[in-house]
Amino acid sequence: MRIFRSQARSEYKSAVGQQRVASQIETSHWYKAKRSFRRHWQLYLIMVPGLLYFLIFKYIPMSSAVIAFKEYSVVQGVWGSPWAGFKYFNLFFSNPVFWTLIKNTLGLSLYSLVVGFPIPIILAICLNEIRDGFFKRFTQLVTYAPYFISTVILVSMTMLLLSPRLGVVNLGLQALGQQPINFLGIPNMFPGIYVWSGVWQFSGYAAVVYLAALAGIDPQLREAARIDGASRIQIIRNVDLPGIMPVIVILLILNVGSLLSVGFEKVFLLQNPLNLATSEVISTYVYKIGLLNANFSFATAVGLFNSVVNMILLVTVNSVAKRVSDSDAGLW
């Protein structure tokens, strides 16, 4: 999924560029619009359902996020409710849960990044190294497959394997003479379970992008290095890695940019009252406060804070990446 975003960023880039060009030729601006509309009214017409979708389900929610600054009441609606200023933001920042949420969210993301980012690269390089054949295709097929397992099933599998009573992990521990461990009941275990089950599920999928990038490297480079007597490790270090570096940088930017957006679905399912100390993250907190406790304004404020921080992170990381490396390294 992440790789698609790189495309998204470049759309952003081209759209911004386009606007700049458009303002320079202001005179033909209106004329061009009219002419285009008259010629292609059918194309504009078929876009209407899709545009309405984005208006209703993306842009209206964006504007009604204003309830973060209001005392929202169902009766008065989004725009009729009285203003509350930064009350809910202050409430959130001064709440002791704030630091726990930030710590858990950042902790899970950083752990995922440190472990989950290099493994697909290593996997892709290894797969690229071996001969084409059944083993290679089979390994790719098998490692890619967990991507298609739903979050519910993945979490269920994790729980079954780690179950203190039935789980095969604990049966193994018992066979070694250890006491069974209730892994999901120990807060310190939660980040590991979250991250490694994610590695299990997504590494094969993420490796596909790197494999494609590796396949795009000119084979002559590898051959030349080989003839010059380079060992396989040297070829990987000096040909393969530089060749896929642009892809690595882009994916790294995207990952760092979404540090504060840990996915709701899996964390929520893995959560239980025993591990809540490390498993409560911003998105699960928003869900509980907002929909279970019906505190809409407060939950929206927390969510808005999260969205804004994410956007700032992404923009910052992107510009840093552009400054420290070649001009083409960034997303836009």
Partner 1 sequence: MESTRVLKSENRIQDSFGDRVFMFFIYLFLIVVLLLVLYPVVYIVSASFSDPIAVTAGKVWLLPVDFSLRGYEVTLQNPQIITGYVNSLIYTVGGSIISVALTVLLAYPLSRRDLYGANIVMFLITFTLLFSGGLIPTYLVVKDLGMIDTRWALLIPQAIAAFQVIIARTFFRSAIPDELVEAAELDGCNDLQFLRWVVFPLSKPIIAVLALMYAVSQWNGYFDALLYLKSADLQPLQLVLRNILILNTTNSGSMDATAMAQRQQLADLLKYCLVVVGSVPVLLLYPFVQRYFVKGMLIGSIKG
- The footprint of partner 1 on residues 169-188 (CB under 8 A) is 171
User: For the window 294-323, what string marks contact with partner 1 as x by the rule CB under 8 A?
Assistant: --x--xx--xx-xxx-xx--x---------
- Beta-carbon contacts of residue 115 (< 8 Å; ≥ 6 apart): 195, 196, 199
Q: Does 224 participate in binding partner 1 (rule CB under 8 A)?
A: no
How many helices, marked H, and strands, marked E, lie in the chain? 19, 0
Rounded to whole angstroms, the Cα distance separating 155 from 194 reads 9
Q: Least CB distance from residue 222 to partner 1, whole Å?
A: 11
Cβ pair 92, 290 in contact under 8 A: no
Residue 103 CB, shortest distance to partner 1, in Å, is 21
Residue 208 or residue 256: which is nearer to partner 1 going by CB? 208
- Contact indicator for 280, 95 with CB cutoff of 8 Å: no
CA 149 to chain CA centroid, nearest Å: 18
Of 157, 217, 241, 252, the one binding partner 1 (CB under 8 A) is 157
Among 15, 97, 114, 274, binds partner 1 (CB under 8 A): 15
**Which of 195, 244, 281, 286 contacts partner 1 by CB under 8 A?**
286
Q: Which two tokens stand for residue 42?
A: 């059918």
- Rounded CA gap, 208 and 50, in Å? 30
Residues within window 94-133 making contact with partner 1, judged by CB under 8 A: 122-123, 126-127, 129-130
The dihedral sign for the CA sequence 180, 196, 106, 71: negative
Residues 20-39 that bind partner 1 (CB under 8 A): 32-33, 35-37
Of these, 264, 309, 319, 322, which contacts partner 1 (CB under 8 A)? 264
Contacts with partner 1: how many residues (CB under 8 A)?
105
Q: Which of 97, 166, 277, 320 binds partner 1 (CB under 8 A)?
A: 166
The span from the CA of 13 to the CA of 25, in Å, is 19
